[in-house]
């Protein structure tokens, strides 16, 4: 029975506090917000650079690992004089590389699917879609931050009422502030991403394609088999050993 009047009093006090804070510090808060928008660009670009480099490294290192494994296996097979061992071991490496490729495609499709669905519904331009995605991210972070505030008792009621009133007085509601930040960041980040794709991702992609279609088949030629038949060779060897079949001979004749 006492909680109702106390909660109302706390809300009224919080609104008065928010009004006083907006009148007292409104101009510095707006200036800080505008300055924060300017500072958010370099920070967001740095975070985007880190994400792009991480993705590039994640795409490159498996190819180098496969290259090192194939070279090592070939040297070992020559030293031991065991071409059959080389074919089986190379087949396992190639099969693992194919599995990694399938995993990467599936993971990339899962990441891209929400953005493709959003574009299919909205048909927004790239800048507008980036702005919408950023707006939703910023609003979600704001909601998580507000959820950390005390929600019970007079202190929580007073603090929430004060923040709501100050946001209303300064015309900086969560939605408006999130949109202003997203509107500022969207074209900046999109231009930066396109530049990084041209400077970093395109040459790496070209090198990987050259490796895949020029170097990689040459490494497999030592086994006398192609990329697909060598991937099937370990399974064929296991079947031949278990059932006495001739699958390996069939693959070698292809």
Q: What are 96-133's pLDDT values in tens digits?
A: 888 888 888 888 888 889 888 988 888 889 899 889 98
Rg over alpha carbons for the chain, rounded to the nearest Å, is 30
Q: What is the Cα–Cα distance from 232 to 247, expressed in whole angstroms?
A: 9
155-159 mean pLDDT: 71
**3-state DSSP call for residue 171?**
coil
Q: What are 187-244's pLDDT values in tens digits?
A: 988 888 888 888 777 877 777 777 777 777 777 777 777 778 888 888 888 888 888 8
- The confidence score (pLDDT) of residue 47 equals 79
**3-state DSSP call for residue 172?**
coil
Q: What is the Cα–Cα distance from 163 to 172, expressed in whole angstroms?
A: 10
Examine the pLDDT at 11 and tell me if it is beyond 70. no
173: alpha, beta or left? (left if phi > 0; alpha if psi -120 to 50): beta
Kindly report the number of other CB atoms within 10 A of residue 247's CB atom.
Answer: 16
Q: What are 36-58's pLDDT values in tens digits?
A: 777 677 878 887 888 777 877 77
Q: What are 123-152's pLDDT values in tens digits?
A: 889 899 889 988 988 888 888 877 777 666
Rounded to two decimals, the pTM is 0.68
Taking CA 216 as the corner, what is the angle to CA 212 and CA 220, rounded to the nearest 5 degrees?
Answer: 145
**3-state DSSP call for residue 147?**
helix
CA–chain centroid gap for 26, Å, is 37
> Which of 51-60, 88-97, 155-164 is least confident?
155-164
Q: What is the Cα–Cα distance from 122 to 128, expressed in whole angstroms?
A: 10
């Amino acid at each position: 029975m006492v909680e109702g009047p106390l909660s109302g009093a706390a809300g009224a006090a919080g609104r008065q506090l928010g009004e006083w804070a907006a009148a007292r510090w409104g101009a510095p808060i707006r200036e800080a917000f505008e300055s924060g928008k300017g500072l958010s660009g370099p920070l967001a670009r740095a975070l985007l650079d880190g994400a792009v480099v991480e993705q590039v490294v994640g795409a490159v290192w498996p190819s180098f690992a496969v290259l090192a494994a194939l070279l090592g296996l070939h040297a070992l097979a020559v030293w031991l004089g065991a071409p059959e061992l080389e074919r089986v071991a190379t087949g396992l490496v190639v099969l693992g590389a194919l599995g990694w490729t399938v995993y990467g495609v599936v993971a990339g499709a899962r990441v891209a699917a929400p953005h493709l669905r959003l574009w299919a519904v909205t048909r927004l331009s790239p800048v507008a879609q980036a702005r919408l995605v950023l707006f939703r991210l910023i609003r979600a972070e704001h909601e998580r931050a507000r959820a950390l505030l005390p929600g019970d008792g007079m202190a929580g009621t007073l603090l929430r009422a004060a923040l709501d009133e100050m946001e209303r007085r300064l015309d900086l509601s969560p939605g408006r502030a999130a949109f202003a930040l997203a509107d500022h960041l969207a074209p900046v980040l999109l231009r930066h991403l396109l530049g990084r794709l041209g400077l970093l991702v395109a040459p790496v992609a070209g090198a990987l394609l050259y490796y895949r279609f020029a170097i990689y088949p040459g490494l497999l030629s030592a086994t006398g088999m192609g990329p697909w038949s060598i991937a099937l060779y370990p399974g064929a060897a296991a079947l031949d050993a278990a059932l006495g079949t001739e699958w390996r001979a069939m693959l070698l004749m292809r």
